[in-house]
Chains A and B, each alone.
Chain A
């Protein structure tokens, strides 16, 4: 469009970003497909979006809080930027139980995607990061935006200056730390999006040891902790020594169906110090007070209800519902002779299609079964040849999807 340009130079970091962010890209393809096949019943196992209603005990609490905002006694204005005290306490006591996490170390937020960017703001452009490969894209994209990376290299599918830690079946989906270069920050997601792998206690002990030895900060994304079935750790803070090297982020999104309600939290231990001894928590608090104004009080009321004993039971049964979905999907792919990973400790199945390009598999699955998945390369070059299948969906859709997959692939 013809128009008058300002003389403001576009942020070079924005220029470095490749294409659109992965999930809006998938959403766009879904829309195009639905236009092409208006009568097809598209089943979305792509974007990991929760589908089941939030239990009454939680929504009634939010509705009550909203109604009370219309009363003199119940009206509340600005909340503490760090979050409602009762909620911070409930998170500490209910979700970190025997671990010595204080309520003052918990910062309530409007979700992990925002927290990741606020952490990047805190860290600034002069730090180096390591990510798993494949990985949830927000760690990389936020790193590019903040200016921590170099250019994207088409040949490798990687940004310069990021350390990519391959996670494959061969290394049990955990980075080989003996070959990992030192970086300031290490992003680890466990249970993992997209591979579904939950790191073992031993793996996390090695990670904490590695971070201690190298003076690094681990940012541990435990958004899927509620999906852990076996005795894999649910929090990095179960590992001794983690308090001095790790930040943990988590979310009510997949735990309570809060993907639209928006609620999460970040734990920054008091003992975590920058190289000059300055506590990281002090700077994170400043970021939260300056760049944010607290999570919605209505969402926080919902969070508190989730952590009551009735609430916990209710949201856990929805989690179990999705876990059953994951099992059905996992079994489907296994019965078709494909190698399937994840699915046991996470709501994602990570399916291997050897020798095939993941966007091609995505497209073929979409065309022939009207099922949306996510191509593994969207999560990094290490995701190539894989497809992520998300287990969020109504049971009948999951079963229907299984039927269609069996028809196509058997």
Chain B
């Protein structure tokens, strides 16, 4: 006689096949895991994090004061507010429109305030649905590809080329100046484009974006333009896709307060959907996005929005520029370090990321070696796509002391 163990109950619900297509976890939790494991291994290692692009400097007081004030007001009869408009508070939408799109004839009603670009990317994908094709830069911010897989727009992952079927990958490398050769790009419904670019740091020129807009127009495609790093531009590269004539009929722009105001934890961003952007049957995309926002979302936190409004006051804008300037100085220090060590270094000028070339080497191997030998966390380029292999992304967010120390260690390792 023997006892039989009961088997655990399984439901009869099939796992979503799209989830099964995803390879491993999302990139940045993986980096965080490796960092934690390393810290356990070397408790005295003094790990410096130039991996995940997380802001480190305190938020200027004028901004946090705005948030604290709103929080206190919620305890008063006159100041209490419940549900806000899902599209965002009127004042904030107007301030975003006038500050960033003033001369570009975009209005408050074209702006949808959110809890950040990552959520917006998924909401856009939910809106587009599974029957659209998409193109991404290679390398690119992983959320575009991963959200596409989850929505069912892609086929299986092909391990040999490290690409998902049905996604058009637009290579961006030193040879093509980090701008895709559009003559070799197949038509897709949606084109994700990030400039200044995460991870390469490259900012597209006006001429390049004009060609991109024309390409989208000729193909009847929708451009989803991620401008989260626009404030880091130091030359005259366009800060918004809407600086390009005709862009309103082809583009959506996604942006964020994360890297401008240190709002990575506070959570605030926005998406611009021009009224002129139409589906093939003439239906305005903004109407569907509005429906998505009203049904799958319930507005960004009113306290975060109060912070956003404070960011866009004259004092707030000045304060944000100062913090951005601080990170830009970090970027210069990192760029100089790698350049002086003889590396080919890209990006950095218009973005808080430095893209360092390690020709012929596996980026995960370089990542591991740097981590092991200098206790500095970076991000392996292949985490952003196959064309990222052979590169390391070094993020410039950090206390000055840590950035200087990290650079000292790089110099020792690579001298």
Enumerate chain A interface residues (CB-CB to B < 8 A). 1, 3-14, 17, 20-21, 23-24, 47, 49-56, 58-60, 62-64, 66-67, 69-72, 74-79, 81, 110-111, 113-114, 116-117, 121-127, 138, 141-142, 145-147, 184-185, 211-212, 214-217, 241, 244-245, 257, 259-262, 271-278, 283, 286-287, 289-299, 302, 392
| Interface residues as binary, B237-274 with A (CB distance below 8 Å gives 1, 0 otherwise) | 00000000000011000000000001011110000000
Contact between B8 and A298 (Cβ–Cβ < 8 Å)? Answer: no
Contact between A286 and B19 (Cβ–Cβ < 8 Å)? Answer: yes
B10 at the interface (CB under 8 A from A): yes
Contact between B299 and A70 (Cβ–Cβ < 8 Å)? Answer: no
Q: Which of B25, B126, B221 is close to A8, meaning CB atoms less than 8 Å apart?
A: B221
CB-CB contacts below 8 Å: B115-167 with A: 115-116, 118-119, 121-122, 126-132, 143, 146-147, 150-152
Contact between B29 and A289 (Cβ–Cβ < 8 Å)? Answer: yes
| Interface residues as binary, B286-314 with A (CB distance below 8 Å gives 1, 0 otherwise) | 00100110111111111110010000000
CB-CB contacts below 8 Å: B7-28 with A: 8-19, 22, 25-26, 28
Interface pairs (19), CB distance under 8 Å: A3-B278, A8-B221, A12-B131, A20-B291, A54-B80, A59-B75, A62-B71, A63-B68, A66-B71, A78-B54, A110-B301, A114-B298, A184-B12, A215-B11, A261-B301, A262-B115, A286-B22, A291-B119, A298-B301
CA distance in complex: A371, B83 (Å): 19
Q: Which of B19, B57, B278, B304 is close to A296, meaning CB atoms less than 8 Å apart?
A: B304
Given A245-B11, A275-B11, verify A54-B75 contact (CB < 8 Å): yes
Contact between B64 and A69 (Cβ–Cβ < 8 Å)? Answer: yes
CA distance in complex: A287, B19 (Å): 9
Contact between A69 and B15 (Cβ–Cβ < 8 Å)? Answer: no
CA distance in complex: A185, B13 (Å): 8
- B133 to chain A: closest residue by CB: A8
In the assembled complex, the CB of B26 is this many whole angstroms from the nearest CB of chain A, namely 4
Chain A residues near B298: list those with CB within 8 A. Answer: 110-111, 113-114, 259, 262
Chain A residues near B119: list those with CB within 8 A. Answer: 114, 291-293
Contact between A290 and B26 (Cβ–Cβ < 8 Å)? Answer: yes
A-B CB pair tally, cutoff 8 Å: 340
Contact between B294 and A291 (Cβ–Cβ < 8 Å)? Answer: no
Given A50-B82, A289-B25, verify A145-B280 contact (CB < 8 Å): no
Contact between A124 and B222 (Cβ–Cβ < 8 Å)? Answer: no
Given A70-B61, A261-B301, verify A274-B279 contact (CB < 8 Å): no
Q: Which of A3, A117, A216, A297 is close to B295, meaning CB atoms less than 8 Å apart?
A: A117
B386 at the interface (CB under 8 A from A): no
Contact between A127 and B13 (Cβ–Cβ < 8 Å)? Answer: yes
CB-CB contacts below 8 Å: B48-95 with A: 52, 54-61, 63-65, 67-69, 71-72, 74-77, 79-84, 86
Q: Which of A4, A111, A217 is close to B278, meaning CB atoms less than 8 Å apart?
A: A4
Chain A residues near B299: list those with CB within 8 A. Answer: 260, 262
- B294 to chain A: closest residue by CB: A21
CA distance in complex: A13, B129 (Å): 8
B275 at the interface (CB under 8 A from A): yes
Contact between B77 and A7 (Cβ–Cβ < 8 Å)? Answer: no
Chain A residues near B77: list those with CB within 8 A. Answer: 53
Chain A residues near B303: list those with CB within 8 A. Answer: 62, 66, 261, 296, 298-299
CA distance in complex: A275, B279 (Å): 38
Majority SS at the chain A contact face: loop
CA distance in complex: A302, B150 (Å): 32
CA distance in complex: A299, B64 (Å): 14
Contact between A273 and B83 (Cβ–Cβ < 8 Å)? Answer: no
Chain A residues near B26: list those with CB within 8 A. Answer: 286, 289-290
- Further 18 A-B residue pairs, CB within 8 A, beyond A5-B220, A9-B279, A70-B63: A6-B216, A7-B220, A8-B220, A10-B283, A51-B82, A59-B72, A62-B68, A110-B115, A113-B296, A124-B16, A124-B18, A145-B296, A146-B126, A184-B14, A245-B9, A271-B8, A283-B16, A290-B146
- For chain B, the bracket of interface size reads 35 or more
Given A212-B9, A262-B300, verify A63-B266 contact (CB < 8 Å): no
B219 at the interface (CB under 8 A from A): yes
Contact between A145 and B265 (Cβ–Cβ < 8 Å)? Answer: no
B276 at the interface (CB under 8 A from A): yes
In the assembled complex, the CB of A204 is this many whole angstroms from the nearest CB of chain B, namely 17
Contact between A21 and B68 (Cβ–Cβ < 8 Å)? Answer: no
Contact between A293 and B220 (Cβ–Cβ < 8 Å)? Answer: no
In the assembled complex, the CB of B152 is this many whole angstroms from the nearest CB of chain A, namely 7
Contact between A77 and B56 (Cβ–Cβ < 8 Å)? Answer: yes
Chain B residues near A217: list those with CB within 8 A. Answer: 11, 13
Chain A residues near B128: list those with CB within 8 A. Answer: 8, 11
Q: Which of B8, B63, B76, B300 is close to A273, meaning CB atoms less than 8 Å apart?
A: B8
Contact between B250 and A6 (Cβ–Cβ < 8 Å)? Answer: yes
Contact between B129 and A126 (Cβ–Cβ < 8 Å)? Answer: no
In the assembled complex, the CB of B118 is this many whole angstroms from the nearest CB of chain A, namely 5
Contact between B80 and A215 (Cβ–Cβ < 8 Å)? Answer: no
Contact between A54 and B152 (Cβ–Cβ < 8 Å)? Answer: no
In the assembled complex, the CB of A121 is this many whole angstroms from the nearest CB of chain B, namely 6
Contact between B13 and A215 (Cβ–Cβ < 8 Å)? Answer: yes
- B276 to chain A: closest residue by CB: A3
B190 at the interface (CB under 8 A from A): yes
- B298 to chain A: closest residue by CB: A113
Q: Which of B59, B216, B280, B297 is close to A9, meaning CB atoms less than 8 Å apart?
A: B280
B281 at the interface (CB under 8 A from A): yes
Chain B residues near A13: list those with CB within 8 A. Answer: 129
In the assembled complex, the CB of B355 is this many whole angstroms from the nearest CB of chain A, namely 21
Contact between A292 and B118 (Cβ–Cβ < 8 Å)? Answer: yes
Chain B residues near A8: list those with CB within 8 A. Answer: 128, 132, 189-190, 220-222, 279-280
Contact between A145 and B292 (Cβ–Cβ < 8 Å)? Answer: yes
CA distance in complex: A298, B307 (Å): 11
Chain A residues near B67: list those with CB within 8 A. Answer: 62-63, 66, 69, 298
Given A24-B294, A262-B299, A276-B14, verify A291-B220 contact (CB < 8 Å): no
Contact between B301 and A296 (Cβ–Cβ < 8 Å)? Answer: yes
CA distance in complex: A9, B219 (Å): 13
Chain B residues near A50: list those with CB within 8 A. Answer: 82
Q: Which of B190, B291, B300 is close to A14, meaning CB atoms less than 8 Å apart?
A: B291
CA distance in complex: A214, B56 (Å): 50
Chain B residues near A216: list those with CB within 8 A. Answer: 11-13
B277 at the interface (CB under 8 A from A): yes
Q: Which of A24, A241, A291, A296 is close to B265, meaning CB atoms less than 8 Å apart?
A: A296
Contact between B281 and A298 (Cβ–Cβ < 8 Å)? Answer: no
B282 at the interface (CB under 8 A from A): yes
Contact between A297 and B294 (Cβ–Cβ < 8 Å)? Answer: no
In the assembled complex, the CB of A14 is this many whole angstroms from the nearest CB of chain B, namely 5
CB-CB contacts below 8 Å: B305-339 with A: 307
Q: Which of B82, B150, B262 is close to A291, meaning CB atoms less than 8 Å apart?
A: B150
Chain A residues near B127: list those with CB within 8 A. Answer: 11, 14
**Which of B22, B84, B265 gathers the greatest number of chain A CB atoms within 10 Å?**
B265
Q: Which of B58, B71, B74, B294 is close to A71, meaning CB atoms less than 8 Å apart?
A: B58
